[in-house]
Amino acid sequence: MENKRGQWGSSFGFLMAAVGSAVGLGNIWGFPYKMGANGGGAFLLIYLILVVVVGFATMLGELALGRKYGRGAVGTYAAIGKKWTWVGYMGVASGFFILAFYSVLGGMVLRYMVGFIAEMFGMTGFGGLGSGEFFGGFTTNAGSMLIYYAIFMVLNIIIVSGGIEGGIEKFSKIAMPALAAILVVIIVYVAVQPGAGAGYAFMFVPKFEAFATNGFFNILRTAAGQMFFSLSLGMGCMITYGSYLGKEQNLDTNMVIIPVADTCIAIMAGMAVMPACAAFGMDYGRGPGLLFVTLHEVFSTGMGGFIGSLMGFLFYFLVLIAAVTSSISLLEVCTAYLIDKKIEKGEEPDRKKLTLIIASIIFVVGIPVALDGLGAGRAGGAALDIPATFLGITENIPMAVDCWLDLYDCLAEGIMMPLGALMMSILIGWVLGTKVIKDEVEETAGVKLTMYKFMEICFKFIVPVIMAIVLISQIMDFFG
Ligand code: TRP
């Protein structure tokens, strides 16, 4: 059984894969602008507290359950009790929908990287257009969006087909150190540009008045949602990665290393992105447009010339690495489900075939995300209507139906993931008992769960309460 499923080859390889899953678009794109818009240093303080009181415990819970039962999300919850299997299915479904929109975004990142490579060699990589114009034209061009989306998905299929040690681990062991190195180069280059200081200030200066203007609960919810997505928690991703861990691997330290590394890279990403915008006079408070429109302009008009193209290439290459190491973990959740099912039936699982099947289905489901011009709809020149128009909703369009990406995101990140995390903490805290987790950690010779008392309080009280708050406010927010 062990061999059919695969295993991590080394602790370093596992850590690179797990940190790779965590570090993704959420860190480089979401974190800096959410931090700036929600109180700067004040947001960071709340975020750090949440990582300690919610992130550590949830990370530990997922890794330990995965290793204990040796199966993916569905198999693990089924092993806990037949009546909990739905929590596992919800996880696989979340992975399915997140991967669909995540890969469309990944494809777009690839397009920008290719554009800057072309510019480095003196060609026009963006049709000679300004950043806003190019973005509008590209996102409403069905052909380009689909091609880059497809290439990104094929990359995922190739890596996940290679298996745990020979695919995911092998890729992450090279990609993650490369990502860290590129990030440092960009941070240093940006730091010496005149005017960069305002960007650090936007991010880090604590604006406690934001608690009053944005509302404390809003900030808490934004920070908690961001932390969950960023740490790849709540849908069985870390359960699945944990299921490939041997008993010799130290969960007591890994539960801390992964969240800390993820948080450091999120902060570092902010230190690259925000000061770069500030130095070249771009509006960094813009929110979601940041990754494509604003940063494109920073590199092509702000920095300009060969160095601008080189930095642009390096930056989007870094984002691409971050996106791929995350998307493969989402695909693995779905693939592992099919593999476990085969093994349960006593059949020989064919990883390559199963990966190809599930990725193809996900690709089809993601097509609407690639075709509605990210919310422009047919009215804005895209090939497909936005969900609201599609479904005939005209009045008071809630966020969930203003584009296909938001619809998928709201289903997965908005509802299923917080519900999944809530269920897991209740199961560990109140049904199974936290001792199960402690025993699993202490399966490793010489290892003691150092924060047991604290973890118990987290599982029983803190995580369920925070997740309930997130779930309720998320639903209210997404549906207007
Ligand atoms: N953590 C990744 C990011 O920050 C995205 C991701 C990968 C994810 N796997 C996940 C999010 C599982 C939630 C659940 O971009």
Please report the pLDDT score of residue 396 as a whole number. Answer: 72
**How deeply is 11 buried, as exposed, middle or buried, from its count of CB atoms within 10 A (0-12, 13-18, 19+)?**
middle
The stretch 131-154 carries a mean pLDDT of 97
Ligand 1 within 6 A of 230 CB? yes
pLDDT(399) > 80: no
**231 CA closest ligand 1 atom index:** 1
382: left (phi over 0), alpha (psi -120 to 50) or beta: beta
Q: Look over the chain and give the mean of its residue pLDDT values, rounded to a whole number.
A: 95
**Is the Cβ atom of 226 under 6 angstroms away from ligand 1?**
no
The 3 state secondary structure assigned to 101-157 is HHHHHHHHHHHHHHHHHHHHCCCCCCCCCCHHHHHHHHHCCHHHHHHHHHHHHHHHH
Whether residue 115 contacts residue 126, with contact meaning beta carbons closer than 8 Å, is answered with yes
Cα(370)–Cα(430) distance, integer angstroms: 42
Q: Averaged over 212-227, what is the pLDDT?
A: 91
Say how many C-beta atoms besides its own lie within 10 A of residue 367's C-beta.
Answer: 19
Q: How far is the CA of 230 from the centre of ligand 1 (A)?
A: 5
The sign one gets for the Cα dihedral 449, 451, 452, 456 is negative
How many CB atoms neighbour CB 430 within 10 A? 12
| CA 231 – ligand 1 centroid, Å | 6
Q: How far is the CA of 376 from the centre of ligand 1 (A)?
A: 26
Query: So what's the pLDDT on residue 1?
Result: 43
- Please check whether residue 148 is in contact with residue 107, taking contact to mean a CB–CB distance below 8 angstroms: yes
Give dist(CA 244, CA 164) in Å, integer.
8
**22 CA from centroid of ligand 1 (Å):** 6
Cβ of 259 closer than 6 Å to ligand 1, yes or no, is: no
Ligand 1 center from residue 81 Cα (angstroms): 26
CB 45 within 8 A of CB 281: no
From 94, 228, 237, 319, give the residue whose CB has the most ligand 1 atoms within 8 Å, as the site to mutate.
237
Please report the pLDDT score of residue 444 as a whole number.
97
* b/e 98-129 (16+ beta carbons within 10 angstroms → b): bbbbbbbbbbbbbbbbbbbbebbeeeebbeee
The pLDDT score that the predictor gives to residue 264 is 98
Q: Which residues of 263-284 are buried (b: 16+ CB within 10 A; e: fewer)?
A: bebbbbbbbbbbbbbbbbebeb
Contact predicate 224/466, CB 8 Å: yes
Q: At what angle do helices 170-191 and 11-22 cross, to 10 degrees?
A: 60
Cα 226 to middle of ligand 1, angstroms: 10
Q: How many Cβ atoms sit within 10 Å of the Cβ of residue 451?
A: 17
Dihedral angle at the C-alpha atoms of 96, 99, 104, 106, nearest 10 degrees? -170
In this structure, which residue's CA is closest to atom 8 in ligand 1? 232
φ/ψ region of 192 (left if φ > 0, alpha if ψ in -120 to 50, else beta) reads alpha
Ligand 1 touching residue 24 (CB < 6 A): yes
Query: Tens of pLDDT along 339-387?
Result: 999 999 999 999 999 999 999 999 999 999 999 999 999 999 999 999 9
Residue 238 predicted with pLDDT over 80: yes
Asked if residue 374 has its Cβ within 6 Å of ligand 1, the reply is: no
* Ligand 1 centre distance from Cα of residue 17 (Å): 12
Span 404-416, average pLDDT: 92
pLDDT of amino acid 393: 84
| 301 CA from centroid of ligand 1 (Å) | 32
Closest by CA to 470, choosing from 431, 429, 425, is 425
412 CB less than 6 Å from ligand 1? Answer: no
In degrees to the nearest 10, what's the CA dihedral of 257, 259, 261, 262?
Answer: 160
The residue contributing the CA closest to ligand 1 atom 14 is 232
pLDDT tens digit sequence for 43-65 = 999 999 999 999 999 999 999 99
Average pLDDT over residues 157-179: 98
Kindly state if the Cβ of 91 falls inside 6 Å of ligand 1: no
List, in order, residues 6 or more apart from 287 with CB less than 8 Å away. 33, 37
- CA-proximal residue: ligand 1, atom 10 (nearest): 232
Distance 207 CA to ligand 1 centre (A): 28
Please count the other Cβ atoms lying within 10 Å of the Cβ belonging to residue 192. 8
Region 105-121: mean pLDDT is: 98
Residue 234 alpha carbon, nearest atom of ligand 1: 14
pLDDT band at 397 (very low <50, low <70, confident <90, very high): confident
Joined together, the tokens standing for residue 59 give 């990370």
Please answer whether residues 357 and 221 qualify as being in contact, where contact means their C-beta atoms are separated by less than 8 angstroms: no
- Whether 330 is in the pocket of ligand 1, judged by its Cβ within 6 Å, is yes
Q: Please compute the mean of the pLDDT values over residues 87-97 and round it to a whole number.
A: 97
State the average pLDDT over residues 31-40. Answer: 89
Out of 239, 330, 415, 474, mutate this one to test ligand 1's pocket (max ligand atoms within 8 Å of CB): namely: 330
Residue 477 pLDDT:
77
Cα 397 to ligand 1 centroid, rounded to whole Å: 27
Structure confidence at residue 33 (pLDDT): 84
**pTM of the predicted model, to two decimals?**
0.96
Task: Report which ligand 1 atom has the smallest distance to the Cα of 228.
Answer: 13
Residue 61 CB neighbours (<10 A): 30
27 neighbors 266 (Cβ within 8 angstroms): yes
CA–centroid distance, 396 to ligand 1, in Å, is 30
Please identify, by atom number, the ligand 1 atom nearest to the C-alpha of residue 330: 9
Query: Could you give the CA distance from residue 102 to residue 104 in angstroms, rounded to a whole number?
Result: 5
- Is 31 close to ligand 1, i.e. is its CB under 6 Å away? no
Q: Can you say how many angstroms the Cα of residue 16 is from the centroid of all Cα atoms in its chain?
A: 15
CA distance linking residue 336 with residue 241, whole number of Å: 10
Q: Picking from 295-299, 328-332, 474-478, which range would have the lowest pLDDT averaged per residue? A: 474-478
- Separation between Cα atoms, residue 417 and residue 411, nearest integer Å: 9
Q: How far is the CA of 122 from the centre of ligand 1 (A)?
A: 36
pLDDT in tens, 283-319: 877 777 889 999 999 999 999 999 999 999 999 999 9
